[in-house]
Amino acid sequence: MSTTAHPTHVGVIGGGQMGTGIAEVAARRGCDVVIVEVDDARAKAAGDRIASSIARGVKRGKIEQSDADQALGRLTATSDFGRLADRQLVVEAVVEQKAAKLDVFTRLADTVEDPDAILASNTSSIPIVELGAAVGDRAGKVLGLHFFNPVPVLSLVEVIPSLLTEQEVTDRVWAFTTDVLGKDPIKAPDRAGFTVNALLIPYLLSAIRMLEQGLASAKDIDEGMVKGCAHPMGPLALSDLIGLDTVLGVAETLYAEQREQLFAPPALLQRLVAAGRLGRKTGHGLYSY
């Protein structure tokens, strides 16, 4: 692969909200996309989720049927990790747990054949340098590529090089993000939470603490921020949309690195996650759906 060309063969690992959103955007923008899940059932569910999302776009008049058909034709959902061997860019989007991500990157180093292939992580908070270290002499090809949910709608992407990332890799990913995906990147520092979550997570945790302490109802907290501060969504509804397990995981990473109380997860958040009430994706969280 030419190191100046845009990647055309993209892999995505993880078929949750973020992974399917990234895969959908890449397929709709002309890339050949392979999305990998842990088993066939989850791979099929990921493919179905993308197809449903594209179908909604067609129904709303935002996607032409012919474009939808072509995008789906460029997409493969599989449980075969080996299908990533010929990828030029792979984006890891598995659960927000360091051990799981390190395992993925270790496997990628042994699977992806092109030495110039870029290995990216959609992590919300885990330092990129630690993921780079997991791939040995390929660490220069590793960086963060953090999208925001819902990926087909929100334009922001954080591009996060580590101390080990080659400048050429950062430049290529920046160009791919803008020229191919049509997104708006910002360069973020390789520290826990990067730019957006270092600001967002304390805000979400403060809202959860306010609810936990009985200082205001969930409805009043969210309406206050929507109608009083012109936010498109209140912090509690946003937490449910993100996933309370993800919010907790990011908060724990931030607190472990910074040791500041504003990053400490409230007990209510911990209890909801322990109970499996993770937000919209499970039907229950801070709200019921």
Domain layout of the chain by residue ranges: 9-187, 197-281
What ranges in the chain are assigned the alpha helix state H? 17-28, 40-59, 65-73, 98-111, 128-133, 167-175, 196-212, 218-229, 235-242, 244-258, 267-274
Over residues 235-285, the pLDDT tens digits come to 999 999 999 999 999 999 899 988 999 999 999 999 999 999 999 999 999
Between CA 177 and CA 179 the distance in angstroms is 6
**pTM of structure:** 0.87
Between CA 34 and CA 23 the distance in angstroms is 8
Structural contact between residues 22 and 12, judged by C-beta atoms closer than 8 angstroms: yes
Q: Catalytic: 79? A: no
Catalytic residue, from 37, 92, 96, 146: name it: 146
Catalytic residue, from 124, 125, 162, 239: name it: 124
Catalytic residue, from 53, 197, 239, 252: name it: 197
Architecture of domain 9-187: 3-Layer(aba) Sandwich (3.40)
Q: Catalytic: 146? A: yes
Catalytic residue, from 24, 37, 92, 158: name it: 158
Given a cut of 60, whether residue 219 has pLDDT beyond it is yes
Residue found by looking up tokens 């493969």 in the block: 76
pLDDT, residue 4, reads: 60
Between CA 185 and CA 195 the distance in angstroms is 12
Over residues 17-75, the pLDDT tens digits come to 999 999 999 999 999 999 999 999 999 999 999 999 999 999 999 999 999 999 999 99
Beta bridge mates, 118:
89
* 196 CB-side CA count, 13 A: 16
Over residues 120-145, the pLDDT tens digits come to 999 988 899 999 999 999 999 999 99
Task: Single out the residue of 274, 277, 249, 232 nearest to residue 100, CA to CA.
Answer: 249
Pick the CATH number of 197-281 from 3.40.50.11900, 3.40.50.300, 3.40.50.2000, 1.10.1040.10: 1.10.1040.10
Between CA 250 and CA 257 the distance in angstroms is 11
Between CA 136 and CA 15 the distance in angstroms is 26
Q: Catalytic: 124? A: yes
